[in-house]
Amino acid sequence: MNHILIIGFVWPEPNSSAAGSRMMQLIALFKTQDWKITFASPAAETEHMISLENIDISKTTIELNNSSFDDFIIEQQPNIVLFDRFMTEEQFGWRVSKHCPDALKILNTEDLHSLRKTRQESFKSNTVFNSNQLLQNDITKREIASIYRCDLSLIISDFEIKLLKETFKIDKDLLFYLPFLFKPITTETKKEWPGYKNRKHFVTIGNFRHEPNWNSVLHLKETIWPLIRKELPESELHIYGAYPPPKATQLHNPKEGFYIKGWAKNAKEIMSQARVCLAPLRFGAGIKGKLAEAMLCGTPSITTSIGAEGMLDEESDWNGFITDDPSEFTKAAVRLYNNETLWQQSQQNGIEITNTRFQEEIFCNPFLDQVSKLQKNLNKHRAKNFIGNLLQYHTLRSTEFMSRWIEEKNKSK
């Protein structure tokens, strides 16, 4: 039986973020194999985190830059270690390699942080994003180095798979495309959804700590919502998200139909009651949890090209409309809200996207087979990854030196 140690950047909050939902999908997959699962994180516990003990997962708090992790990993002796985001691999990867050299190292990227960060910088500087900017970004160098140091990296978006292969020339054997993992939407599922006439208002959901979400809320407040409200004066926009800061709650304005609702205890229920989901994302990466959630609830959506990235085949139609122009966004939102036939067709498009691109039965067994294959041929696999070996050699020394220096410095305080 495999023992997998998951080192989380944060504790899983499936009702707060797409990253939390993604992590719980991976955990559910591991549990189907009866693997022993240990989840460790240096993050502070939160009120919205899931109770791992209730699903028979061992939970441990670990410390950054502390040799206590060495004792922990030696005692655990996992044969698979999954790093949640590249920053976690940077902190703990060298210790895992030193004390569990035969453990399979998997990086769960969540999304390409370097892509999201570079797009954000391009947006703020009002420049057009291009791959040269990405290549010059320090976060890119750190993230790509982490991918090379691991035996396998999970990539959630096919756009990002293509980027890593074509722009960075990363060997396909180091990457695995693993999008959201959903069960199929059936006729019975659809019958449980409220119909067009039983829904009202617009909705958007997203963790306020995630900069693309906050920017999207501002874009709605300042530009898009006033235009929609002018056409639909009785409509409301309900904005949900964990950890709303004061600058967000100050935007709450019932007179304008603009409601900051805060954390959603049951995101599916909220999404199912809305008629249309709005997601005018102007930068970001990965695939968007709010838009996947909308499809799972039969809620059509309006989004941007960034929002729909990685979620659509060239020959498929979106679950509503895709546009980067605020005026066109407004027209699409009003049209979709008022036209029942168009709304129903958009809902059907969402069902087809979900059932063709995000089915767990398509991806789970190939992923598990790849893990098994790598475990059986780990030395051969690593021998082919010379750049990874090179980075591992230098990282083990430089990162260890820096970490031990920080640890000693902390002791003297």
Looking at residue 407, its pLDDT comes to: 67
Looking at residue 274, its pLDDT comes to: 97
Looking at residue 18, its pLDDT comes to: 85
The reply to whether 350 and 364 lie within a common domain is no
CA distance 357 to 366: 15
Instruction: Give me the DSSP letters along 100-161.
Output: -TTSEEEEE-SS-HHHHHHHHHHHHTT----HHHHHH-HHHHHHHHHHHHSSEEEES-HHHH
The reply to whether 259 and 113 lie within a common domain is no
What's phi and psi for 287, nearest 5 deg?
A: -120, 150
The reply to whether 407 and 351 lie within a common domain is no
The reply to whether 347 and 401 lie within a common domain is no
Arithmetic mean of pLDDT, 181-196: 96
Looking at residue 404, its pLDDT comes to: 64
- Confidence bin at 209 (pLDDT 50/70/90): confident
- pLDDT tens digits, 318-333: 999 999 999 999 999 9
The reply to whether 203 and 252 lie within a common domain is yes
Instruction: Give me the DSSP letters along 379-410.
Output: HHHHHH-HHHHHHHHHHHHHHHHHHHHHHHHH
- pLDDT tens digits, 253-299: 999 999 999 888 888 999 999 999 999 999 999 999 999 999 999 99
Boundary-marking domain end, from 331, 357, 383: 357
In total, how many domains does the chain have?
A: 2
Q: Give residue 246's domain range.
A: 187-357
Question: Is residue 403 scored above 90 in pLDDT?
Answer: no
The CA-CA-CA angle for residues 327, 328, 330, to 5°, reads 65
Q: Give which of 305, 308, 311 is closest to 354, Cα–Cα.
A: 311
List, in order, residues 6 or more apart from 135 with CB less than 8 Å away: 167
Global confidence as pTM: 0.92
- pLDDT tens digits, 99-149: 999 999 999 999 999 999 999 999 999 988 877 778 788 899 999 999 999
Question: Is residue 235 scored above 70 in pLDDT?
Answer: yes
For the chain, give the mean pLDDT.
Answer: 93
Looking at residue 132, its pLDDT comes to: 76
- Confidence bin at 48 (pLDDT 50/70/90): confident
Looking at residue 398, its pLDDT comes to: 65
Arithmetic mean of pLDDT, 193-197: 97
Question: Is residue 81 scored above 70 in pLDDT?
Answer: yes
Instruction: Give me the DSSP letters along 20-46.
Output: HHHHHHHHHHHHHTT-EEEEEESSPP-
The reply to whether 37 and 132 lie within a common domain is yes
The reply to whether 345 and 369 lie within a common domain is no
The reply to whether 364 and 222 lie within a common domain is no
The reply to whether 149 and 214 lie within a common domain is no
The reply to whether 124 and 23 lie within a common domain is yes
Question: Is residue 4 scored above 70 in pLDDT?
Answer: yes
The reply to whether 338 and 211 lie within a common domain is yes
For residue 353, give Cα distances in angstroms to 156, 184, 185, 275: 15, 10, 10, 19
- Confidence bin at 400 (pLDDT 50/70/90): low
- Confidence bin at 17 (pLDDT 50/70/90): confident
Looking at residue 180, its pLDDT comes to: 96
The reply to whether 404 and 383 lie within a common domain is yes
- Confidence bin at 41 (pLDDT 50/70/90): very high
Boundary-marking domain end, from 320, 337, 357: 357
Backbone φ/ψ region at 369: left (φ over 0), alpha (ψ -120 to 50), beta: alpha
CA distance 398 to 31: 36
Boundary-marking domain end, from 321, 341, 357: 357
Task: Give residue 130's identity as a one-letter amino acid code.
Answer: N
276: number of Cβ within 10 Å: 27
CATH number at residue 279: 3.40.50.2000
Which tokens go with 235? 């409509």
Question: Is residue 55 scored above 70 in pLDDT?
Answer: yes
CA distance 290 to 297: 10
